[in-house]
Structure 1
């Protein structure tokens, strides 16, 4: 069954980057799932009101990021996790991981992800991150705020252009979900988290690797502080 693609929100940027960011966001949020088949390119271009050449450039970028697989005569399909990443996830999934260990892993991995994202992010990555920030607000419900938080960190990992880092980010998200939920329980906590995301994004957009790593380290410290159990 061919997936349904929602309309594209146009901005004054490269059209192919906008299309790539739009589709990558749908994949990251789970609206497009592994195995979903995209509409034929002619139909997809018409549905998004873009030229076929712009769409082809976007599809080439998504293929290079290993987010879709394109086959002659079969169209484009959203991919599964790369094999090596899948093996890593499967190998660790059965371990009895304590929350403290997962948090420590996050402290080690996420600053490096932010640094690599700053060095490797392309325009579509920045558009996707900017879109999440535009939808983030301290007035959202804790559940919606947490969902966008996870989407931001996942997109940041994708911007680092390393599928294994995406897998690590996904696993640490699963292991720390209850603690992360605490960082969205109050309006102040949500505002603090969003402010951290803005500082990370600013460094990534400026291609400032050390600045992005430092912003992530500060963000994780802030999140831990507001996630401490109430007494």
Structure 2
């Protein structure tokens, strides 16, 4: 069965980057899953109201990021998790992880992710991150705010262009979900989290790796403080 692709919201950027960002966001959020077959390029271009050449450039970018697989005569499908990343996830998933260890790992990994994202992010990565920030605000429900929080951090890991870091980010998200849920329980916590995301995004967009790492470290400290028992 061919996957359904939601409409593309057009903005003043490279069309191919917008298309790549839109599809990458759908893959990262889980709306498109591994093994899903995408519509034909002709159909997809028509549905998204873009040219075939722009769509083709976007598909080449997604393929280079190993997010989709393209085969002559068989179309495009969403990629499975790379073997090494899958092996890592299987191994780590079997461990009984203490929260303190998970938080410590997150403190080590996520500033490095932000640092690499600032160096490696391309326009489509920045567009996807900006799209999440546009949909985020402090008035959202705690569950929706948490969902967008996780989507932002996952997209940032993808921008670092390293599947093993994406896996580590996903695993630490699972291990720290309870603490992260607490940080979104109040409007103040949601605003604090979003402010942190904006600082990280601005540093990544400026390709300032040191500022991105520092912004992430500050964000993690603030989130931890607001989620601590009162």
Structure 2 length normalisation: TM-score? 0.99
Equivalent residues in 2 for 1:43-122 (5 A)?
Answer: 43-122=43-122
Tell me, in whole angstroms, the C-alpha distance in 2 between the residues paired with 1:34 and 1:40: 17
Once residues 44 and 92 of structure 1 are traced to their aligned partners in structure 2, the CA distance between those partners, rounded to angstroms, is 37
Report 1:49-198 matches (<5 A): 49-198=49-198
Q: Distance in 2 between matches of 1:92 and 1:164?
A: 12
Whole-angstrom distance in 2 between the partners of 1:107 and 1:14: 34
1:29 aligns with 2:29: yes
Moved over 4 A (4+): none
Task: Deviation per CA, 1:134-186: give whole Å up to 9, x if none.
Answer: 00000000000000000000000000000100000000000000110011000
SS of 1:33 mapped into structure 2: coil
Instruction: List runs of 5+ in structure 2 lacking aligned partners.
Output: none
Secondary structure of the corresponding residue to residue 201 of structure 1: helix
Name the SS of the counterpart of 1:60 in structure 2.
Answer: helix
- For residue 80 of structure 1, report the CA deviation from its aligned partner: 1.2
RMSD: 0.5
Quote how far apart the aligned CAs of 1:210 are.
0.3
**Structure 2: how far apart are the matches of 1:7 and 1:190?**
28
Distance 2:88 2:94 in 1: 11
Match of 1:211 in 2: 211
In the alignment, the residues of structure 2 paired with residue 195 and residue 95 of structure 1 have an alpha-carbon distance, to the nearest angstrom, of 33
Q: How far apart, in 1, do the equivalents of 2:133 and 2:5 lie?
A: 22
- Using the TM superposition, give the Cα deviation of residue 10 of structure 1 relative to its aligned residue in structure 2, in angstroms: 0.2
- Give SS of 1:46's match: helix
TM-score (norm 1): 0.99
- Structure 1 residue runs without a partner (length 5+): none
Aligned residues: 230
**1:22 Cα shift?**
0.3
Deviation at 1:92, TM superposition (A): 1.2
Counterpart-to-counterpart distance in 1, 2:170 and 2:71: 28
Q: Which residue is equivalent to 2:38?
A: 38
For 1:120 and 1:148, the matched residues in 2 are separated by: 22
Shift of 1:96: 1.0
